[in-house]
Amino acid sequence: METHGRTPSRRTLLRSGAYLGAAAAGLTAATTPAHAEARRDRAAVAYPPTHWIPASTSNYRVSSRPTSYPIDFVVIHVTQETFQDAMKIFQNPAKQVSAHYMVASADGYIGQFVREKDVAWHAGNRDYNNRSIGIEHEGWVDKPEYFTDEMYASSAALTAAVCDRYGVPKTRAHIIGHDEVPSADHTDPGQYWDWDRYIDLVKSA
């Protein structure tokens, strides 16, 4: 996303994991303990730890990937918002935007907003939306302090898992920035995103 907002304090960032965990728990409070435990077990097998925080159904397209479309890319984004504000955007049916995942800066918390089989609207290019997984990262393109060790490690583990599931090569040709999507007018993840470090982490995850 390219919208700009006020930068939160580091103290606010460090509280984000606890806040987001509570928010996710609130969204699933009606789930029975047995169902919740089963869902956690499935998530542990398929991903690094993630939390389901559904986007508005108006902000993505239901599909049956990879049957309907092959998954060929992972697209890396930076939110230009706090996690909480970006989460509200994905849940606002008027916004017409979403990503499959978002990674928090302070602790690497991962929220999932759209199922991988469905088409999130993140790339600004219909073909790339159809054939990619979009991962947002909390922060601003001109504030490298948001790109923490925890964020890199958590995101790289997620990208590695996605690549393994769909046979996506773990290379820069297939793990791309939003700014590399054809016809994209966004600049994220920006000059401070350490691509060499990130790809090395993906390959070793």
Active site members = 136
Asked if residues 20 and 84 have their Cβ atoms less than 8 Å apart, the reply is: yes
List residues bridging with 61 in a β-sheet: 119
* Helix (H/G/I), strand (E/B), else coil: 74: strand
Q: In angstroms, rounded to a whole number, what is the distance separating the alpha carbons of residues 53 and 112?
A: 6
* Helix (H/G/I), strand (E/B), else coil: 76: strand
Q: In angstroms, rounded to a whole number, what is the distance separating the alpha carbons of residues 68 and 181?
A: 21
Tokens of 195: 């691509």
Asked if residues 71 and 131 have their Cβ atoms less than 8 Å apart, the reply is: yes
Task: Count CB neighbours of 197 within 10 A.
Answer: 13
Q: In angstroms, rounded to a whole number, what is the distance separating the alpha carbons of residues 174 and 197?
A: 16
Angle at 52 between CA 90 and CA 39, to 5 degrees: 165
Q: In angstroms, rounded to a whole number, what is the distance separating the alpha carbons of residues 134 and 35?
A: 27
